[in-house]
């Protein structure tokens, strides 16, 4: 009987996000595929250094060893490498003792068509085209920034921070703010305070983390070592709709920060997340030197003969 991934938090991560392959990427871009192929085969026993997504993946996989006979997380390597050039990746996975057994090696083809086949809940990559295609297909996805200096600091908890609009929630309200201004945005949120916000691309991931928190029973009775934070530019009166939406979803966020336009970086540095997800390049640029950051692109749709974002 086939193994089902339906009830697991499945993270798809590119090999370049899990490991530091920047030198190899430069070889590919400047010297071509054949030079890249030769380099990887000649160095397949050289262990790769850690990449931007490594700390989060390692932390999530630890959940599986804390509960007897129950898995919560599955990680799938998703790479445009061919099987011929992938041995170095698998050797590095084994070296770091990562419980990763599944892989998509597309041989240069796009990765997005395979995300739903593996029930991927979160896709992380350093290739913008793959991330954009994943978002367009309805999968929570983020373009990782290069890791900050403290990226591999050991923490007792898995810590994940989210922006609100266009990340956890849809971009419906944010578009009103961008096109009509703050007053129209606040009036809209006040008038719709009792109406839950539509789900954004990361709503499913947040709900999956909440499910793990609620159903985690370790051998020694500890609760799930997961802590989430919402760090949003919203403030009163736009706070009420957020609180009521999370209540309607039956999701509890551990820490919530209504920043009201104040910069997010200091709060994020204090929270110390394994990763912070935001859709705004400016917020990401300021956060990236302090905490591991992933930018969430807006979904693009061809509607009525025009490209909208």
Neighbours of 182 (CB within 10 A): 11
Looking at the DSSP bridge assignments, the partners of residue 122 are 11, 140
Looking at the DSSP bridge assignments, the partners of residue 165 are 169
The pair phi, psi for residue 212, each rounded to 5°, is -65, -45
Q: What are the E-state strand segments in 134-199?
A: 140-144, 158-162
The structure tokens listed for 33 are 């595929």
Distance from first CA to last CA of the chain, Å, rounded? 42
Evaluate whether 163 touches 280 at the Cβ level (below 8 Å). Answer: yes
CA 20 to chain centre: 18
Closest to 197 in 3D by CA, of 247, 232, 260, 256: 247
The pair phi, psi for residue 142, each rounded to 5°, is -145, 145
Catalytic residues: 163
The pair phi, psi for residue 56, each rounded to 5°, is -65, -45
- At 293, which helix (H) or strand (E)? strand 293-295
Evaluate whether 217 touches 224 at the Cβ level (below 8 Å). Answer: no
Neighbours of 26 (CB within 10 A): 11
SS3 106: coil
Looking at the DSSP bridge assignments, the partners of residue 78 are 104
Distance CA(213)–CA(224), nearest Å, equals 5
Closest to 298 in 3D by CA, of 289, 307, 306: 307
């Amino acid at each position: 009987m086939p193994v089902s991934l339906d009830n697991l938090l499945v993270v798809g991560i590119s090999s370049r996000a899990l490991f530091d392959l920047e030198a190899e990427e430069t070889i590919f871009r400047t010297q071509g595929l054949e030079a890249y192929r030769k380099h990887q085969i000649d160095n397949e026993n050289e262990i790769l250094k850690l990449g931007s997504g490594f700390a989060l993946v390692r932390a999530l996989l630890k959940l599986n060893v804390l509960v007897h006979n129950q898995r919560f997380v599955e990680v799938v390597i998703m790479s445009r490498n061919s099987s011929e050039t992938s041995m170095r990746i698998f050797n590095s996975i084994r070296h770091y003792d990562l419980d990763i057994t599944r892989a998509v090696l597309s041989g240069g083809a796009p990765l997005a068509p395979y995300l739903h086949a593996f029930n991927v809940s979160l896709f992380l990559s350093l290739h913008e085209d793959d991330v954009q295609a994943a978002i367009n297909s309805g999968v929570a996805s983020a373009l990782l920034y290069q890791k900050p200096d403290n990226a591999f600091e050991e923490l007792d908890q898995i810590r994940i921070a989210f922006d609100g609009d266009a990340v956890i929630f849809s971009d419906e309200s944010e578009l009103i703010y961008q096109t009509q201004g703050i007053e129209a945005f606040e009036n809209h949120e006040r008038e719709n305070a009792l109406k839950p916000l539509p789900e954004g691309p990361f709503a499913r991931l947040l709900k999956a983390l909440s499910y793990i928190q609620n159903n985690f029973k370790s051998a020694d009775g500890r609760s799930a070592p997961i802590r989430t934070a919402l760090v949003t530019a919203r403030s009163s009166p736009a706070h009420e709709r957020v609180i009521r939406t999370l209540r309607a979803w039956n999701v509890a966020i551990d820490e919530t920060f209504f920043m009201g336009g104040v910069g997010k970086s200091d709060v994020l540095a204090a929270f110390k997340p394994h990763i912070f997800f935001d859709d705004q390049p400016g917020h990401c640029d300021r956060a990236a030197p302090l905490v591991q950051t992933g930018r969430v692109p807006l979904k693009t749709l061809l509607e009525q003969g025009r490209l909208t974002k």
